[in-house]
A and B are shown apart, each in its own frame.
Chain A
Amino acid sequence: MAENKEKILEVKNLEVTFKNGKKEFVAVQDANFDLYEGETFSLVGESGSGKTTIGRAILRINPTSKGEILYKGKKINGKLDKETDRWVIRNIQMVFQDPAASLNERATIDYIVSEGLSNFHMYHSDAERHQKVVDALKSVGLLEEHASRYPHEFSGGQRQRIGIARAMVMEPKLLIADEPISALDVSIRAQVLNLLKKFQRETGLTILFIAHDLSVVRYISDRIAVIHKGRIVEMASTQELFKNPLHPYTQSLLSAVPMPDPQIEKNKKLLIYSGMEEDSKTDPRSWQEVLPGHYIYANESEMVEYRNKVTL
């Protein structure tokens, strides 16, 4: 399904390096993936694996040290002129992980939601601005009267919906959702996920979903990339990845998903991935396609093994 759709975002050989004096830390290396219009693409990995860094590199919060990020064929990393910068901001928006930290406690909801609108003068009169804010609040299930409230008066789920309203009022084409539900209570996670799906249905939004929980990712995404220590190790469509998890890290992630059945949970064997032994000199690993649309980071001997598994 993905092939006949238009590419909205291309990430090519992306590398992000953090410098602290002379020390350098490579957070992300050789990241390659494309986002097609209207799909939900998930980045999955443990904490510290660099998934948030990729999201932030696309938003240009983290500078990139190598590679390219193309949005609709136009390079958006590195230095940008003012016009492109504003064009990117209008098209790519983000929902943050921590709803408590990502809202300005000293501003009213009205100010927070309309911040982007006023930066881009996306209204003709103050009444129109207020109407847009009210519409955005209603679209996330909040009430008009909330506009004059302050963030500390809301619950975690409500705050996260305010964060979504703030991003969606800009009418973006691409939404980067950085673990939008991991800070929320389990009982309201579905509410926020369904809200994202609703927006996708209504506006054809493309979502880059960053998460560490495979059970959530399975529910929401069309394609999944598994990332380990700054490197994408496997990428496939959701169905394919859950049917044929090839890379040992993917298998260990899958084994960590909790089962709501005590019998299965008790007898479940947890797979622990200890990292790949390096024999890069004789047989270097590279980014290869096992099946159409199913990519894996492997060397030649591993590829033979994987191919056998798939054909079985």
Chain B
Amino acid sequence: MEEKKKMDPRFQFVTLHQEESEHIAAPQYSYWKSVFRRFFSSKPAILMLIISGLIVVLSILQPMISGYDPLNVPTINDFSTHFLRPSAAHWFGTDNIGRELFDAVWLGTRNSLLISFAAAMITTVLGVIVGAFWGYSRKMDTVMLEVYNIVANIPFVLIVMVLVYVLGSGIPQLIFALSCTSWLGTAYFIRVQVMIIRDREYNLASRCLGTPTSKIILHNVLPYLISVIVTMISRDVPSFISYEVFLSYLGVGVGQTDQTLGKMIQEYSQYMQSAGYLFWIPVAISALISVSLYIVGQTMADASDPKTHMQ
């Protein structure tokens, strides 16, 4: 009491509110909201997202409208329609038997995208599931390491070529051949990541609470790998597109009746000197897809890493 009287009148006692001090003033944190905010703060990524979105939409809609069929060639004997340069009437010009390149390109893009997305999807889903359990189980590790060592030492292109020869050519066969062994690489990569995270203390805590391994993988390990998985997808899709182009160029990709970008590049490469547009337009489209998808994927991978959310 004595002291209170002596106190400077400009000061006064306040009571401590225990509950107030526990309150967190920051707004609620939401992982996915932060991811998208981060992603859309990058202008190049938005541009590339628009470009790749346009390509995807065009490749889905345009073949539906044009009804293009590479085997239906009424102009084959009308030499006046062959090798027309790009113009207002023929946007991308026409080829050696008078087919519209504009129609052909979008059908080819559709099939190439279909192949690469399907192969990337299978590779990722299978790779992540197998890799997650591979990283956890010691028994599985000894077996899978041997399998991986054998498969990883055979050149990928060789495996794909042999498979396509055995299964015959066609889009489903090519998807199967591309994803047949590549998921092992993904699984191995995920295994290493899981092994890094596996022994962290919060996983021990979960085990002490009786959490089964599958639930630990789903809730404790995979959320940490989102950024890594997105990086892998953004790397896989363009690489599968270039594999398709490469294999079709070698003539072991899709069948005679299927139209893909790779097949077009292979077919028209003989006109590189005489009618260059036939070769360069599919090449440019394929490059555009790869670059835009890669940049979108990389920005997404950065954005999905929560370390970038605090800035």
Contacts and interface: CB of A to CB of B under 8 A. Distances in A.
Contact of A115 (B18, B204, B211, B306): B211
A269 B172 CA distance: 81
A101 B209 contact: no
Interface in A94-113: 94, 96-98, 101-107, 111
Nearest to A97: B201
B208 A94 contact: yes
A115 B19 contact: no
Interface in B42-79: none
B207 A61 contact: yes
Contacts of B24: 145-146, 149, 153-154
B202 interface: yes
Interface stretch (B25-33, B239-247, B284-292): B25-33
A102 B202 contact: yes
A93 interface: yes
A76 B209 CA distance: 16
Contacts of A59: 208
Contacts of B209: 89, 93, 115-116, 119, 166, 170
Interface in A191-245: none
B129 to A, nearest CB: 19
B224 interface: yes
Interface residues of B, number: 27
Nearest to B29: A150
Nearest to A163: B205
A102 B29 contact: no
Nearest to A56: B204
A141 B219 CA distance: 26
Interface string B220-234: 100110000000000
B201 A98 contact: yes
A89 B210 contact: yes
B3 interface: no
A257 interface: no
A149 B223 contact: no
In the complex, which range does the number of interface residues on chain A fall in?
A: 35 or more
Given A106-B224, A107-B219, A143 B23 contact: yes
B308 interface: no
Interface in A39-66: 59, 61
Nearest to A169: B209
Nearest to B209: A116
Interface string A152-175: 011000100001001000100000
Contacts of A103: 202, 205
Contacts of B220: 104, 106-107
A153 B207 CA distance: 24
Contacts of B206: 104, 115
A74 interface: no
A292 B88 CA distance: 105
A89 to B, nearest CB: 4
Most buried by B among A98, A102, A107: A102
Interface in B134-149: none
Nearest to A151: B202
Contacts of A116: 209-211
A106 B31 contact: yes
Given A104-B202, A111-B219, A149-B28, A158 B22 contact: yes
B200 interface: yes
12 contacts: A61-B207, A104-B206, A105-B224, A106-B31, A107-B223, A116-B210, A116-B211, A142-B22, A143-B22, A146-B24, A163-B205, A166-B209
Interface of B: 18-19, 22-24, 26, 28-29, 31, 200-202, 204-212, 215, 219-220, 223-224, 306
Given A105-B306, A149-B24, 13 more contacts: A61-B207, A93-B209, A103-B202, A104-B220, A105-B224, A106-B219, A116-B210, A119-B211, A141-B22, A145-B23, A146-B22, A153-B24, A158-B22
Interface of A: 59, 61, 85-86, 89-90, 93-94, 96-98, 101-107, 111, 115-116, 119-120, 141-143, 145-146, 148-150, 153-154, 158, 163, 166, 170
Complex A-B, nearest 7 residue pairs according to Cβ-Cβ distance, in ascending order: A106-B223, A116-B209, A89-B210, A101-B201, A119-B210, A102-B201, A104-B202
